[in-house]
Homo-oligomer: A and B are copies of this chain.
């Protein structure tokens, strides 16, 4: 790969995206709906081509090195192409995230000030070997009026390229300019750091994948990054609570899908309920094959639990392992979460309203729960329709991000000659 050529081709892609974004920003919503429906139709029509491209990825040398779970994520079939198409239609049907009036006021001097939502412009998305992200990201970016430059995992290169090509061609057939959806035409990693310096063309980058990928993007990028590092999620079992309900919630939060960011990783138990709670809870965990790592007080009551180390309380296991700790007060629970947690999703299971209020006000996380599973931190579950990711940052967007979070705002000021 010749760096000079890569650079100039990236520049060209950036310019094309910028021009496309200018058009997209003023596109009426009916037109965006129409385009997204047409793009869905095009995906369905190209289904066998996309699956053929996917076959090339699955038969490549790179795929041979992937785990079973990763192969599963990489594999496309008719049902999965249909799901991508359906996703585009669903995003299309949502209300327009652009042009919302966020504030409107008339000043004493007669100036009318209006704050409205507008697209960012061009968004870069860097993700791992999941070809469905190509369609999802393109759809949600278009709905929010943004052009998108994609860089997917090299294992999915043929699938991603084909999907992006189909989508971009369908958009052009609807009269949109070339460059609404573009994908980096190289499998080589060297293009990524170059892309991440293109702050003249890319307004925002969203990395999706493991912590290593995300840290690498944050370090290299000169434009703003919306990100989510990890989910070290907690539940706190208060001294008074519905124990059966608490156990149901814990089983769900830990076991329903242990490999995701909103799954439970550490359970905090109030000391006053420990002896009642621990044996029943441990039984439920045993049934679900969850390995427990507890502190001394807990291990004394649950003989098959391992001893937890300091590292266990920082760990995002993403597996059927759960750290457990006894705390003396709701204050201590909050302190533990703010120290060891990742500001993702944390909850209290309690029948004491004052403790619930205290917990929700003081836990510094994007989503704080009372008496529900942490697994609900998700754009779909929040009613956002589509999700582009979850942010553990505090700037701009926190928690699940939908199409609204892919917009910024500007002020329009209408005068009739006002001067200062």
Give chain A's interface residues, CB within 8 Å of chain B: 22, 25-26, 105, 107, 111, 113, 120-121, 203-204, 224, 226, 242, 245, 248-249, 251-253, 256, 338, 347, 360-362, 364-373, 375-377, 381-383, 393-396, 398-399, 408-420
Contacts and interface: CB of A to CB of B under 8 A. Distances in A.
30 contacts: A22-B362, A25-B362, A26-B361, A107-B382, A120-B394, A224-B395, A245-B416, A245-B417, A251-B419, A252-B419, A252-B420, A256-B420, A347-B413, A360-B412, A366-B411, A367-B411, A368-B411, A368-B412, A369-B415, A370-B413, A371-B416, A372-B417, A372-B418, A372-B419, A373-B419, A375-B419, A376-B420, A381-B420, A398-B410, A399-B411
B414 A371 contact: yes
Contacts of A25: 361-362
A402 to B, nearest CB: 11
Nearest to A408: B394
Contact of A409 (B251, B398, B412): B398
B420 A105 contact: no
A344 B362 CA distance: 37
A368 B379 CA distance: 32
Contacts of A375: 419-420
Nearest to A242: B417
A108 to B, nearest CB: 9
A224 B256 CA distance: 35
B249 A371 contact: no
B113 A417 contact: no
A413 B376 contact: yes
B419 A248 contact: yes
Contacts of A120: 394
Main secondary structure of the interface of A (DSSP, over half): mixed
Nearest to A262: B420
User: How many copies of this chain?
Assistant: 2
A419 B383 contact: no
A393 to B, nearest CB: 7
Given A107-B383, A224-B393, A395-B395, A373 B418 contact: yes
Contacts of A417: 242, 245, 248-249, 371-372
B419 A382 contact: no
Contacts of A242: 417
A104 to B, nearest CB: 11
Contacts of A338: 22
B248 A372 contact: no
A22 B417 CA distance: 47
Contacts of A371: 414-418
A244 to B, nearest CB: 9
A366 B113 contact: no
Contacts of A248: 417, 419
Contacts of A377: 411
A12 to B, nearest CB: 17
Contacts of A410: 364-368, 398-399
B398 A408 contact: yes
A383 to B, nearest CB: 6
A125 to B, nearest CB: 16
B256 A394 contact: no
Looking at A105, A107, A360, A418, the one whose CB has the most chain B CB atoms below 10 A away is A418
A121 B364 contact: yes
B364 A105 contact: no
A368 B410 CA distance: 8
A372 B413 contact: yes
Contact of A256 (B365, B370, B412, B419): B419
A124 to B, nearest CB: 14
A396 B370 CA distance: 28
B249 A373 contact: no
A98 to B, nearest CB: 10
A236 B355 CA distance: 59
A399 B115 CA distance: 10
